[in-house]
Structure 1
Amino acid sequence: MRKWIIAISLLSLLGCASQSKQKKEKAELFLRMGISQLESGNYPYALRDLLKAEELDSDNAVIQNNLGLVYFFRDRQDLASKHLNKALEIDPKYTEARNNLSRVLIEKGQFAEAEKELKIVLDDLTYPSPEKAYINLGLAKFNQKDYSGARKSFIKVLENTPDDCISNTYVGRSYFEAEDYHRASEALDRAISFCQKSLYDEPHYYSALAYYRLGEKSKSQTRFEEVVKYYPNGKYRDKAKGMLSLLRKGH
């Protein structure tokens, strides 16, 4: 009788183990599908697949990290921080999740907390993407109007990836906010060449403004016209049209 009990118990455990393995494999499949949708910008489908993955394996830090990302892109920073914090509870050494959490904190205006997380990220010498952390640190500094500190962080990125669109843009914007319009126009013109293919209109618009502040109205007008022409759905299209109206009236 005891042998039968032991055998049944072992079979039961093996059955559970097999079932658990199957759930994890299925969760992994939904995770891969969710990441693919996330990378393609299909956020509703990404969320659907990642939530299915979470149902099957809720203690998977990678699933929690990617849920945090998809909520970030859907402008649900409350849910983004919840899932990223859970990822770090599961794996406190998950530096990618910590870096992503810092970006959410920046979006929420919690700059001191973001910088605290970024210090931990940058202290992790095994983290293979420190440029991501320097971009976030630059954004934190910029949003606190520490333009010199922001520029130092973005220049750190450009030392290794000189064609980075965001870093080139914010080097230019840091000069613009400091009213160094000559350097701003140079940096922003350089950023345009790296950003246009991704339809990112910010450097184009601020280049136009820099030329406007320098009194170079012809160059400014050309840049504003390019914003309207090349970025029909851009963030700065309406502002560029407003500035063109002013320039054409002779202001």
Structure 2
Amino acid sequence: MKMQNAKCKVQNKNTQYAGIGLWVMPYCLLLIIFLTGCLSAGLREEASIHYRLGVSHLNDGNLPVALKELTSAVEKNPSDPSYHNALGLAYLYRGLDHEAIKHFNEAIKLDAKFSEAHTNLGAVYLRQKKWDDAISEFQASVANIFYTTPEIAYNNIGWAYYQKGENEKAIDNFKKAITANSKYSLAYNTMGLAYAKMNKDREAADAFNNAVRYSPDYADAHYNLGEVLIRLNDKKRAVESFQKVIKLLPDTEIARSAQEKVNLLK
């Protein structure tokens, strides 16, 4: 968390002091600085309390209360990039992209190497289908060698390239994501989609298999695996994959689609 110390500037127009004034003024100055420092510390603590409450409500999905608490945190301490990032996330989850972008940018302005803020800003651009802007933000994220989850940014770069139809670049970044985290199922699934788009069905099947190996409850990956297994003429395993989707997500659109596939294959 990045804090900025409050600066106290006292300006005195008098250039000369007479008698006792020379002794009184320094004590007054110390008192002013002391009181200002106490106020700043108090505000920072209040802001921290609002921030922690806001993050807790954000994690619980209580967006209105999260927005209220995080807004209070930012108002009381606007110089902390973490507060702007969290508030941006709350706006992002609420679907208010303009406000989310504003606070992510403010977080980055306060800390240019704040990888999480770059990643979150990139996520907004992904949603808006601004692929090149998204790629730029994710690349800024991974440029920071201290970023603890680069697999997220690399996978998102890959997804942006996939949406642009640049599948080779997409796969290259999915592989970087997997290098950063060998059990990152999302990257295996998206890489499988890119291989399938290139009609490299065997490679796609391998990628989807890895996705469900590391995340057995990953319904989308099971469905994608089933689709590619049909193309590989492995109907038995395709049916098994679709049946897993139905079991994992009953009474959903993807489950109904999987059931239709099973009916056609039997």
Indicate the TM-score class for this superposition, using the shorter chain for normalisation. 0.7 to 0.9
Instruction: Measure, in 1, the Cα distance between the counterparts of 2:184 and 2:241.
Output: 21
Give the structure-1-normalised TM-score. 0.85
Q: How far did residue 234 of structure 1 move?
A: 5.9
Instruction: Check the 8 A contact 1:195/1:201 in 2, yes or no.
Output: no
Structure 1 residues 168-191: Cα deviation after superposition (integer angstroms, max 9, x where no partner): 111211111212222212221221
* Structure 1 pair 87–48 and aligned structure 2 pair: CA distance change class (3 A): same
Instruction: Measure, in 1, the Cα distance between the counterparts of 2:109 and 2:207.
Output: 41
Instruction: Check the 8 A contact 1:84/1:101 in 2, yes or no.
Output: yes
Instruction: Measure, in 1, the Cα distance between the counterparts of 2:86 and 2:183.
Output: 26
Name segments (4+ residues, structure 1) moved above 6 Å.
none
Which of residues 150, 155, 167 is equivalent to 1:147? 167
* Structure 1 pair 22–211 and aligned structure 2 pair: CA distance change class (3 A): same
Q: Which residue of 2 aligns with 1:161?
A: 181
Q: How far did residue 210 of structure 1 move?
A: 0.9
Alignment of 1:73-112 (within 5 A): 73-112=93-132
Q: How far did residue 139 of structure 1 move?
A: 1.6
User: Is 2:253 the partner of 1:231?
Assistant: no
* Structure 1 pair 9–235 and aligned structure 2 pair: CA distance change class (3 A): farther
Instruction: Measure, in 1, the Cα distance between the counterparts of 2:234 and 2:59.
Output: 41
Q: Which residue of 1 aligns with 2:78?
A: 58
SS at match of 1:171: helix
Instruction: Measure, in 2, the Cα distance between the counterparts of 1:136 and 1:201.
Output: 20
Q: How far did residue 65 of structure 1 move?
A: 0.8
Instruction: Check the 8 A contact 1:118/1:133 in 2, yes or no.
Output: yes
- The structure that has the greater radius of gyration is 2
Instruction: Check the 8 A contact 1:200/1:234 in 2, yes or no.
Output: no
* Structure 1 pair 7–209 and aligned structure 2 pair: CA distance change class (3 A): same
User: Is 2:228 the partner of 1:210?
Assistant: yes
RMSD: 2.5
Structure 1's unaligned 5+ residue stretches are: none
Give the structure-2-normalised TM-score. 0.80
* Structure 1 pair 243–44 and aligned structure 2 pair: CA distance change class (3 A): farther
User: Is 2:245 the partner of 1:241?
Assistant: no
* Structure 1 pair 126–235 and aligned structure 2 pair: CA distance change class (3 A): farther
Q: Which residue of 2 aligns with 1:219?
A: 237
* Structure 1 pair 212–42 and aligned structure 2 pair: CA distance change class (3 A): farther
Report % sequence identity: 27
Q: Point out the more displaced range, 7-16 or 83-92.
A: 7-16
Which of residues 46, 49, 53 is equivalent to 1:29? 49
User: Is 2:179 the partner of 1:179?
Assistant: no
Instruction: Measure, in 1, the Cα distance between the counterparts of 2:72 and 2:47.
Output: 7
Instruction: Measure, in 2, the Cα distance between the counterparts of 1:247 and 1:49.
Output: 53
Instruction: Measure, in 1, the Cα distance between the counterparts of 2:95 and 2:263.
Output: 33
Which of residues 140, 160, 163 is equivalent to 1:120? 140
